[in-house]
Homo-oligomer: A and B are copies of this chain.
Amino acid sequence: MKLTTKGRYAVTAMLDLGLRYGQGAVTLADIAQRQGISLSYLEQLFAKLRRTGLVNSVRGPGGGYTLSKEPSEISVAEIILAINENIDARRCAGKADCVGGDRCLTHELWEELSERIHEFLSGITLGDLVNQPIVQEVASRQEGRVRLALSQ
């Protein structure tokens, strides 16, 4: 479990999809504009999200991305794991000083901690976030900004 701005971006973008769940496909260009993330970076993130089956894509005009499941069925942990996709494979296999299994055990210790964080983030879904008042607020403000931009 690794927590960086990369994961923050992914969760924000997925939340953007969650807020528009059931309203058709959302383009990455729209998300990029609303959330202030570069389009190409979003493309990289969504390539991974698509590969892990968290989103579906539709090409061509009117296309974009949609969540593959209900927001309440997608956890924050799933999103972060999907974009990190690091198996944390450095399990002493290639380390010379890993004699007697000592280092492996300290690794396992940290992994237990990491696991508990994972459990925690597994308990928070996009649905939970969508239903939070503060998120609703942001969403309506963002909609307003788009309408304003279109009317100019």
Contact = CB atoms under 8 A, between A and B. Distances in A.
Contact of A110 (B8, B95, B137): B8
Interface in A1-27: 1-4, 8, 11-12, 15
A106 B145 contact: no
B109 A134 contact: yes
Interface stretch (A43-51, A52-60, A61-69, A96-104): A96-104
A112 B142 CA distance: 19
Interface residues of A, number: 42
Contacts of A76: 113
Nearest to A108: B134
Contact of A105 (B97, B110, B121, B138): B138
User: Which 4 pairs show the lowest CB-CB distances between chains A and B?
Assistant: A105-B138, A3-B3, A8-B110, A36-B97
A148 B17 CA distance: 59
A91 interface: no
A128 to B, nearest CB: 10
Given A2-B4, A113-B124, A98 B36 contact: yes
B117 A135 contact: no
